[in-house]
Amino acid sequence: MPDKKHHHIPDPMEITHEIAEETKEITHEIAEGISRLYCPLDFNHPHSLKYMSHHLHELMEKRLWLKILLGMFLGVAVGLLLGPFGGFVEPEMAEVIGEWIALPGYIFLGLLKMIVIPLVLASIILGVASSESMADLKKTGLSTALYFIVTTAIATCIGLGMALFIRPGQYIGGELLQAAMEGEAPSVAQDMDFSLSLGDLPSKIGGLLPSNPLDAMVQGEMLQVVIIAIIVGVALVSLSRRQAVPLIHLLNSVQAICMTVVKWSMALAPVAVFGLLTKFTIMLGIDALVGMAVYVATVLASLGLLMGMNLIIISVLARKNPFDFLKAVWDVLLLAFSTSSSAAVMPVSIKTAEEKLGVRPSISQFVIPLGATVNMNGTALYQGVATVFLAEVFGIHLGFGQLVLVMVMAVAAAIGTPSIPGVGIVILAMILSSVGIPTTGIALIMGVDRILDMTRTSVNVAGDLVTCTVMDRFIGGKGGKGEGLEGAEGTACVLGDGEDPKFKRGKPEPAGAGASEEE
């Protein structure tokens, strides 16, 4: 007898289930398509900040640092010709010419100041959100913060110690000081009360949380901006994939826009340095430059000691060859020297940490954006040297208590400082006021600050990379390179395809969250 074929007739429930599955898949594809339109970055292959480093690689290949150095020497030479030393131009006319020559420098600084807050805000939020879990975030955050504070305090002590040992202020005469300040007589510092009332601490700590986040950004309160970014980043870690999609895509777009502006500004960098140094050389003349040579040498020697300390940390704590480390980070240090901005080189710093130093993305994408604003070791060291130098110039003795106050102020000021060129001068004014040194003395060091600013930025970036390497060794975590958020090709993978371990917390997955895992 012929076999009877039994045909399965699906019941209504099976048909309904199949329709629901097909509808869910179609809905996911539609949402994915909309996300592609919403974000300029590829949804299936999202990019972290390191993938924006292509904006800066062209500058590295064209040896921007060499052009910067050439601009510095030409600026000094032209300034000497136009200034009193050359005598070819009347002083009033030379001052006008100097201002016009410095115009590219003003534009350069303005462009970097314009993007630093949105870039730092977006980078810190995404860096915090790249943590695999709240436990990892807590461990990484506390360890990194403690490391930053300790190393910044050590850096300040190095600066204070070198300045007290070399005493560069004794090489500056009263005539030079008067000329630098354009005849403004320095005020005599009065004894100040440096005591801190414990009753004021609660209100000051509470004041770190801004009542209006937008106002904090407009006012440039970087410490408050950092706190806002950390809070938002922690909140993102606790959200579901679907809820995080819009903000993460927006922040990635903000990063891309900021890095484009950085690329534009870097095209002006050699001309900017030339113009600014020309202007300051016209103002101060050859005598000021010669008289400030010992001060410059003191700062550079102190930064060299700090860099040596970083290499010792790499050898002892990270267990890596310091010479291999220097070879790996050399290009990014040259770029930092050229830009004078830790924030501007964040993409290259992250790329270097992950691809050359083998740091886990969950560490690098958290430490480097945070370190660009918080970890200012070179800047803190500079504050110590400059404060002791100007105190000696004005004949002011700094006691032990005042030196401790300088250290505390330098560490506090380094946290939440905008990572833009020239910000060290702004911090210095605050520290000088706190210990009774006339801020008018800043005019004396303005002319030589450009080379010092560029050098300390390189040391700051080196400190961030050292921190990454140390934290990667001491903070446990799953796997090595390529795991965590970076396993799906970038920070924004929290939104895309594939299973991200940071979302395995027992929460129900949104519909269609894993529909494209095979891609």
Place of tokens 């040579």: 293
Quick one: 484 exposed, middle or buried, by C-beta within 10 A (0-12, 13-18, 19+)? buried
* Highest mean pLDDT out of 155-159, 362-366, 404-408: 155-159
- Model confidence over 178-205: pLDDT tens digits? 555 554 433 433 344 444 456 666 777 7
Q: What contacts 182, CB < 8 A, 6 or more positions away?
A: 443
pLDDT at 188: 38
For residue 44, report the phi and psi dihedrals to the nearest 5 degrees. Answer: -75, -20
Look at residues 175, 185, 163 and name the one whose alpha carbon lies nearest to residue 438. 185
In the chain, the amino acid numbered 75 is G
Place of tokens 């504050």: 383
In the chain, the amino acid numbered 347 is P
* Highest mean pLDDT out of 283-292, 430-439, 509-518: 430-439
Structural domain harbouring 255: 51-500
Whether 300 is covered by a domain: the verdict is yes
Q: What span, in angstroms and rounded, lies between the C-alpha atoms of 408 and 249?
A: 39
Structure tokens at 353: 């940490």
Q: What span, in angstroms and rounded, lies between the C-alpha atoms of 481 and 477?
A: 11
In the chain, the amino acid numbered 202 is P
Structure tokens at 52: 């924006």
Q: Which of 57-71, 265-279, 325-339, 347-361 has the lowest mean pLDDT?
A: 57-71
For residue 4, report the phi and psi dihedrals to the nearest 5 degrees. Answer: -95, 125
pLDDT of residue 376 exceeding 50: yes
Whether 186 is covered by a domain: the verdict is yes
Q: What span, in angstroms and rounded, lies between the C-alpha atoms of 345 and 366?
A: 15
Structure tokens at 468: 């990454």
- pLDDT band of residue 26 (cuts 50, 70, 90) is low
Whether 241 is covered by a domain: the verdict is yes
pTM for the predicted model, two decimal places: 0.65
Q: Which of 2-6, 286-290, 311-315, 373-377 has the lowest mean pLDDT?
A: 2-6
Whether 472 is covered by a domain: the verdict is yes
CATH of the domain at 106: 1.10.3860.10
**Residues 56/348, Cβ–Cβ less than 8 Å:** yes
**Domain total of the chain:** 1
Residues written for the chain: 519
**DSSP conformational letter for 170:** G
Q: What span, in angstroms and rounded, lies between the C-alpha atoms of 232 and 247?
A: 10
**DSSP conformational letter for 185:** P
Q: What span, in angstroms and rounded, lies between the C-alpha atoms of 445 and 439?
A: 11
Q: Which of 203-207, 325-329, 450-454 has the lowest mean pLDDT?
A: 203-207
Look at residues 387, 432, 331, 343 and name the one whose alpha carbon lies nearest to residue 157. 387
- Name the average pLDDT for the chain: 74
Mean pLDDT calculated for residue range 378-395? 90
3-state helix, strand, coil split of the chain in percent (to 5) is: 75, 0, 25
Whether 411 is covered by a domain: the verdict is yes
Q: What span, in angstroms and rounded, lies between the C-alpha atoms of 402 and 374?
A: 23
Mean pLDDT calculated for residue range 69-84? 84
Look at residues 350, 117, 326, 336 and name the one whose alpha carbon lies nearest to residue 219. 117
Please, where are the H alpha helices in 167-240?
A: 174-180, 201-206, 213-219, 222-237
**Residues 407/384, Cβ–Cβ less than 8 Å:** yes
pLDDT of residue 302 exceeding 50: yes
Tell whether the torsion through CA atoms of 125, 128, 134 and 140 is positive or negative: negative
Whether 449 is covered by a domain: the verdict is yes
Q: What span, in angstroms and rounded, lies between the C-alpha atoms of 277 and 28?
A: 57
pLDDT at 366: 86
Whether 4 is covered by a domain: the verdict is no
Whether 10 is covered by a domain: the verdict is no
